[in-house]
Structure 1
Amino acid sequence: MSSRPSAELIVTSPGSTARFDGERLWIERERTRWTVPLQAIDSVRLTKEGSQVSITLTGHGREADHGLAAPVSIPSSDPYAAEVFSRGLRRALAEREPADDGHALVTREALPRRPARFTATQRWSAALVTGWLAVLVVVGLVSRAPAAMLSGLLLVVAWTMPLGTGVLVNSVRHRIRPARVLRRRGLTVPGRMTGQAVRKHKDSRQSYPLLAFTTVDGTPFQDIRSVVSVHAPSDDEQAIRGAVDVTYDPENPALAACGRTVSHAGWTAALTVFGAVLTVFSVVVVGVLLTR
């Protein structure tokens, strides 16, 4: 039986990505990529409660020769993905004769600089601060409003409460919850975008890639709609096609996504905060009326 996995194995964490295709291991950190042939690896084990893969190279090379610490540590944001990754490496190692000096086989190369991005924490922080400021302004205005105006606000609340609650529930159900599932137990494999499903609403537009990929156990899937949207400037089907890493839920492979995008994260934060602000506004108005 071949030691080659059914699909390229990938584990990611903030600032680090590791890939294994059955023959070699690639490790990317910041602006550096290391290539480690399979025969350079002596052993593989899981550490830190299964969230980190530790690899020992053969021989007695020095860390300065290639820049990787010994043993080589590969962190993962998902313990299950780390387990599958280490299992695939061990299975491949069982059928491969190790080299005498694996350190000498490791190569490294510099990667081009990538444009700076706002982190997910920074985006959510900005959205939450904006939302809470809006809530404070609303509370201040409502608490000082005359009784006649508050009575008129009941008509507004009859519209804002269901709208705000609906937007908030929809954002949690279709955006936040799938992202949490994929972050907690998702596996990442190479795939490709085969087309797009476009949602239009007035002047806004969201495009969801259709994904084709093969799971770790060798099952192929076609035209799976990504739960993460991308920015597509035109109606051209060729606008989003090509190779992409796909993260899928092994318990439900129809739940899959391409990589995180700024547009999707921005829409998620904006819709969540918008729904929460409308809901809080409605509750505040009703509360003030009940206490007067």
Structure 2
Amino acid sequence: MTTNQEGIYGEDQMTWGHLHVQGGVRHDWSTIDTRDQTDSGGSFNQSDQATTWRGGILYAFPIGLSPYFHYAESFQPANNLSFNGTPFKPTRGRQFEVGLKYQPHGFNGFFTAALYDLKQSNVLVTDPVHIDFYTQTGGIRSRGIELEAHVDLTRNLNIIAAYTYQDVAYTRGSGDLTGERPIAVPKQTFSVWGHYDLRNGPLRGLGFGAGVRYNGNTLVDNTLEYVTPSYVLVDAQAQYSLDAVAPRMKGMLFQVTAQNLLNQRYYPGCAGADTGCYIGANRNVIGKVTYSW
């Protein structure tokens, strides 16, 4: 199989006082050449091209509030054949987003809130009649809200928190799936991370952090009968900067990161009710040494 995608794009960013405007256009050419060596009819050639647009506008008020609007389009070729041996059309998407950014003057923090509406057409789903193949539905619609906060509570302590609620469903033209939630898509996700640096005393240069990630339940397959349970994972990190005790070693950093610290068993996704679900990664601890100059 050979896949080739080329594109050209242009973008301009303009500012007039507190008003910021961005606009861009992109054109893509895609070719897919697949050869089935078993002569079972799986070989095909496909060529597609598309022009997509993006643009946004933001106004930065002096008090730190910045409302904005953004629009974007997408183009993704599909390297698959239907049961009848027909290549699929590329998946197309378009997204509208409106939001508010806030950077207060009284303390070091940054907050964002966004509402979005995303629609995709020509989406691939498992063929309900021929399980090992795909079919192309009418589309998927995703609407939701995203909230994010970055706050320095003290000179030493930083907190990052994010929350997403999304209402995702198949649109009209998707047959029996119309109005249903796609597989492997949670309705809610949440994460919070805190990091503390010791800047004084004998442990100066030491820093450590901890965080929690929540992922809501997801559908196992398009039968809509089974769901994976939601899960919560705990992560942690510790680091030490050598320049705190040896100025000549400035830029040298030791770091240890642990993901899924409590070794929680969870299921991030499934291949289907008949074939089973994937078990998430066990506790993962990584140590590294970096030097920057």
Q: TM-score range by the shorter chain?
A: under 0.3
Q: Which has the higher helix share?
A: 1
In the superposition, the TM-score normalised over structure 1's length comes to 0.20
Structure with higher strand content:
2
Bigger relative contact order, structure 1 or 2, given CA contacts below 8 A and separation 6+?
Answer: 1
TM-score, normalised relative to structure 2: 0.20
